[in-house]
Amino acid sequence: MTLIEAKNVIKTYGVGEAKSNVLKGVNLKIEEGEFVMIMGPSGCGKSTLMNILGLLDVPSKGDVYIKDKKTTKMNENERAVFRRKISGFIFQQFHLIGTLTALGNVELPMTLDGKEETFRQKRAKELLNIVGLRERENYKPSQLSGGQQQRVAIARSLSNNPKLLFADEPTGNLDSKSGKQVMEILENLHNEGMTIVMVTHDSYMIKYATKVIRMKDGEILEIDKVKDGEVVETEVVKKDV
């Protein structure tokens, strides 16, 4: 079943001579249960596309559908409510609150949603256990390594039980060991049925994907189907010249 569909998505910044088309008529579908990686050189529009698919930004033209719901006509508040209901986000920067413990950071989205304290704490502890940090629930971010902070951020992204997870270069600031731990957590979540959309420039990460979207200069060049780390089918969308 199609979870996300983008139709002729264009994103433009600036006006006049400063006008720049960051996305140039992107069309794609993401099916439920896929682990999709968006790849390409710096400045190709990867993160912009992910932000639009995740309703953190809106296209200048074109439409985005999530579960057959047209999202591009939503106002900012409607997008925020819908986004929080169905999706979680992980970024290269961890965006943890320095004055809160690991437990408090994981609880935060549930607090904003008005969940009661007993439920919040139980859920947050369960999630910290999933990412292997149950024993560090009372540590503040400054007391955690970069890899541990990213694992707290993953736990926080799962607090509202999303069906869809967006990750923008989640291992970009981590050493190889911590990066592998993060990817193993994401792999386990995918194996349990979660749909994941991840931006990366690291070709090594293909081993975790089921689909790879390759971009250049704001356009999709090709879409690869992947099985066991190997490309088994390629759809050429636009020839690279």
Domains of the chain with bracketed CATH: 32-43+77-236 (3.40.50.300)
Q: What is the pTM of this model?
A: 0.92
Q: What is the per-residue pLDDT for 239? A: 64
pLDDT at 16: 76
Residue pair 198/226 in contact by the 8 Å Cβ criterion: no
In sequence order, which ranges of 55-175 are alpha helices (DSSP H)?
Answer: 76-86, 102-112, 117-130, 146-157
Residue 240's pLDDT is what? 62
pLDDT score of 30: 97
CA distances from 204 to 50, 102, 116, 174 (A): 20, 30, 42, 15
Contact 2, 30 (CB under 8 A): yes
The pLDDT assigned to 17 comes to 76
Check: CB of residue 201 under 8 Å from CB of residue 169.
yes
Pairing of strands 195-199, 35-39: parallel
Q: Mean pLDDT of residues grouped by 10 in the chain (241 residues)?
A: 96 85 95 97 94 96 95 92 92 93 96 92 96 96 95 95 94 90 94 96 92 96 94 84 48
Sign of CA dihedral 142, 145, 150, 156: negative
